Amino acid sequence: MTWDILITNIKGLAQVRDNTPSVLAGSAMAELPVLENAYLAIADGKIADYGEMQSLANPSADQIIDAKGRFVFPSFVDSHTHLVFAASREEEFVMKIKGASYAEIAAKGGGILNSAQKLQRMSEDELYERSLVRAFEIMKTGTGAVEIKSGYGLTVEDELKMLRVARKIGRETPLKVKTTFLGAHAVPKSLTKDKYIQLVIEEMIPAVAEEKLADYIDVFCEEGFFSPGETEQICEAGKKFGMRPRIHANQLHRSGGVQVGVKLNAISVDHLENIGEEEIKALQSSSTIPTALPGAAFFLNLSYPPARDIMNAGLPLAIASDYNPGSSPSGNMSLMVALACVKMRMTPEEAFNAATINTAAAMEILETHGSITRGKTANVCITKPIPTLSYIPYSFGAQLVDQVIINGALIG
């Protein structure tokens, strides 16, 4: 057997599992299996084999990568992004530094409406080109699968435009992409909320479904945006077209978003900066995956989700980037893992599990992604020489992912 790529002398092959669990919850999150002095073989875009170096007999491969002193782990799965957007918003960043709150900026026509205005004026081709740059940026920092939301269009045509761009990224790059319709992200100035909800339900959802542009439906369930009742109404409409809900919940207030997410059988509820015992209790009676977005909590200077309480309650926890121009202008998952460790007191093992297996579960791609398992898609990160895997979150901000293989091909 000749493999396409053989990685040898791996100091530690992390997240290696012969059988993948469905999701990692509670104390199971603390265990990250690592095979020392290992090899990994790739063929036809899949993980063909792995094991200890001493068991590697007569290796034959088109390309051999010597990973002496390096760790190899499955590429990150980023289950919550707004990767498709027109332009950055660093002017609001400066306003925030000077004391304006997220809600105040939004009320002044900044925030999501600012991004929508810029996106509405941009052609689909240019939007694609700009988003493609970000897609390669995140691949190079180790992301191999990504969820991408709409929500900066806010008109039928512009929401479709965003989702077409997201789908094209999935077709034209090695990234595994799942898409989410987030028409209910904000209410445009030209319409009342009731009229806009009507537009979302009666026109946007059917049009998105017609072109098969979205796998999921999301709502920004938040005071000043959409209430739990409205969230339910919109998600129920999406469900009729096969879009399973995933919800922006409890970012700025205890908005009831978690409870409505559980009621809707959402695949995940994301943000969770403002949750307590009630929300945790609701999650315990569900299969909804709580997801923290530490980049957004960091950037907006918010409190962080109570990760330890969530895990102590026997729940899973996923970590995603929320890459977007307003509240988390970074899609660097190593940094998200570092923030999870430093600010949410997760161990590196818990954080790596949260950003690989649990986000893969939250994207419903665990059969193919999230772990080093025979037959799964060959999506792996090779680090620079480092002493331990914990060194990655420890030296936060450093780019320690050196080489990335996605779908069995090295990303240049």
- Contact region with ligand NIG (CB under 6 A), list: 38-46, 226-234, 239-247, 325-333: 325-333
Pairing of strands 216-221, 247-249: parallel
Residues 221-250: x where in contact with ligand NIG by CB under 6 A, - otherwise, as a string:
---------------------------x--
Placement of tokens 């789908």 in the chain:
167
Specify whether the CB–CB gap between 400 and 408 falls below 8 A.
no
- Is 38 in contact with 52 (CB distance < 8 Å)? yes
Residues between 108 and 147 with contacts to ligand NIG, criterion CB under 6 A: 111-112, 115
Neighbours of 322 (CB within 10 A): 29
Q: For residues 74 and 329, which CB has a smaller minimum distance to ligand NIG in the complex?
A: 329
Stretch that binds ligand NIG, among 67-75, 236-244, 323-331, 401-409 (CB under 6 A): 323-331
Min CB(149)–ligand NIG separation in Å:
8
- Say whether residue 222 binds Fe ion (CB under 5 A): no
d(CA 35, CA 56): 14
Q: What stretches of 173-200 show up as alpha helix (H) in DSSP?
A: 193-199
Residue 112, contacted partner among ligand NIG, Fe ion, none, CB below 5-8 A by kind: ligand NIG
Q: What is the dihedral of CA 194, 197, 198, 199, to 10 degrees?
A: 120
Could you tell me the smallest distance in angstroms from the CB atom of residue 289 to ligand NIG?
Answer: 16
327 binds ligand NIG (CB under 6 A): yes
Compose the 285-304 pattern: x for residues touching ligand NIG by CB under 6 A, - for all others. -----------x--------
Query: Does 268 contact ligand NIG by CB under 6 A?
Result: no
Contact call for residues 331 and 83 (beta carbons, < 8 A): yes
Of ligand NIG, Fe ion, none, which one sits near residue 279, judging by CB under 5 to 8 A according to partner kind?
none
Q: From CA 15, how far away is CA 34, in angstroms rounded?
A: 6
Rounded Cα distance, 391 and 348, in Å: 9
Closest residue (Cβ) to ligand NIG?
326
Task: Please tell me whether residue 273 binds Fe ion under the rule CB under 5 A.
Answer: no
- Of the candidate residues 326, 329, 348, 408, the single one contacting ligand NIG (CB under 6 A): 326
- Encoding tokens for residue 178? 């799942």
State the minimum distance, in angstroms, from the CB of residue 318 to ligand NIG. Answer: 14
How far from the centroid of its chain's Cα atoms is residue 60's Cα?
A: 36
Compute the least distance from the CB of residue 124 to ligand NIG, in Å: 20
The residue (of 111 and 144) whose beta carbon lies closer to ligand NIG is 111
Describe the crossing of helices 156-172 and 124-140 by its angle, rounded to 10 degrees: 40
Spell out, one character per residue from 316 to 345, where the chain touches Fe ion: x when CB under 5 A holds, - when not.
Answer: ------x-----------------------
CB of 58 to ligand NIG, least distance (A): 51
327 binds, among Fe ion, ligand NIG, none (CB under 5 to 8 A by kind): ligand NIG
d(CA 303, CA 189): 30
CB 373 within 8 A of CB 357: no
Q: Does 325 bind ligand NIG (CB under 6 A)?
A: yes
CB of 2 to ligand NIG, least distance (A): 46
Sole window of 233-241, 322-330, 354-362, 388-396 interacting with ligand NIG (rule: CB under 6 A):
322-330
Number of residues counted as binding ligand NIG (CB under 6 A): 13
Which of Fe ion, ligand NIG, none has residue 167 at its interface (CB below 5 to 8 Å by kind)? none
DSSP string of 267-332, one letter each residue: SEEEE-SS--HHHHHHHHTS--EEEE-HHHHHHTTPPPP-HHHHHHTT-B-EE----BTTTB----
Euclidean distance between CA atoms 147 and 154, whole angstroms: 19
At 292, give phi and psi (nearest 5°): -100, 145
- 305 closest CA partner among 281, 283, 274: 274
Residue closer to ligand NIG by CB (options 319, 378) is 319
The footprint of Fe ion (CB under 5 A) covers 322
The footprint of ligand NIG (CB under 6 A) covers 82, 111-112, 115, 220, 248, 251, 296, 322, 324-327
